[in-house]
Structure 1
């Protein structure tokens, strides 16, 4: 299938941690879109997971995102797939992994590549990813696309999860899309 399927999707919030936030170019916009994305996932009953990289040094996930995560995995490896607890917990039926977070060119990219290596389809959310420098973010998106990830936006994910304007959650989707954050 060339569009996201809510029945096979899982949203992964990668390392959206407080101590990283001030250094990320466009950080507030990235967090706004990650929040919107997590709320859209919850609206369509899609699991929302998160990772925290070295939380003892970098701090926890931003509280507003932590409140929306069903499972948070601590890791020291840049690729979450190298963390057995994360890798072993991935549900077999959730083959479409939607990824966003910090830093696009390090933990987000390496985790996405790890997921591709595990045979998952990866959907990288362009407007919900950030790095300290825009060039690093853009290089990560290009590399992910070249490796087989599909690059999407938050709104693309929401509308694909909705599938049809007849869905009873349609009005809630529109409210989330139109909310300026």
Structure 2
């Protein structure tokens, strides 16, 4: 229909994974920690298997510690977390440079997971369009200390044009089709 707006699917050749502040001293305070870590693990495994670039932020690591050790193990040595003090990754000079470089390479879709949903995730998601990136926030892979803060953040982001998705949606959008070795391997992660 002429003039209608259509939502785009996330495409693996255009996507990157942005993991926000999944740090060892911050995570224990999050509501729904176990499901958060489970979904994060699925997304990391899938992104690595499909060769998606992965960026990891750490908010004030001196005070909040490094990225959770289990997640670091999944990420491996090829992913180095970037420290920040800005709440928004889009405002932090180091992360902003990395995001802009990815956008210039055609990686203009940022799939976001992490904490806290109502602070760093929200501010990043709302700031990414100014850098030319479309934000996709994975609802079952973000958390806050209080569930109501998480829900209000998801509602606000959706109202402001951020696409809210799930881990399973991302997995199947990245895959694009069944019958491939990647499909067989990665679809097993959600069974």
Is the structural similarity TM-score above 0.5? yes
Residue of structure 2 equivalent to 1:150 = 163
Residue of structure 2 equivalent to 1:83 = 92
SS at match of 1:82: coil
Corresponding pairs, count: 178
Unaligned runs of 5+ in 1: none
Report the alpha carbon displacement of residue 17 of structure 1 after superposing the two structures with TM.
Answer: 0.6
Does the CA contact (< 8 Å) of 1:129 and 1:137 recur in 2?
yes
In the superposition, the TM-score normalised over structure 2's length comes to 0.89
Q: Distance in 1 between matches of 2:152 and 2:169?
A: 21
Which structure 1 residue ranges, 4+ long, deviate > 3 Å from structure 2? none
The RMSD of aligned alpha carbons is 1.2
Residue of structure 2 equivalent to 1:44 = 50
Q: Distance in 2 between matches of 1:166 and 1:112?
A: 33
**Does 2:128 match 1:120?**
no
In the superposition, the TM-score normalised over structure 1's length comes to 0.94
Report the alpha carbon displacement of residue 66 of structure 1 after superposing the two structures with TM.
Answer: 2.2
Residue of structure 2 equivalent to 1:99 = 112
Unaligned runs of 5+ in 2: 1-6
Q: Distance in 2 between matches of 1:81 and 1:7?
A: 21
**Does 2:180 match 1:171?**
no
Q: Distance in 2 between matches of 1:161 and 1:45?
A: 11
SS at match of 1:148: coil
Residue of structure 2 equivalent to 1:136 = 149
Which of the pair has more CA radius of gyration? 2
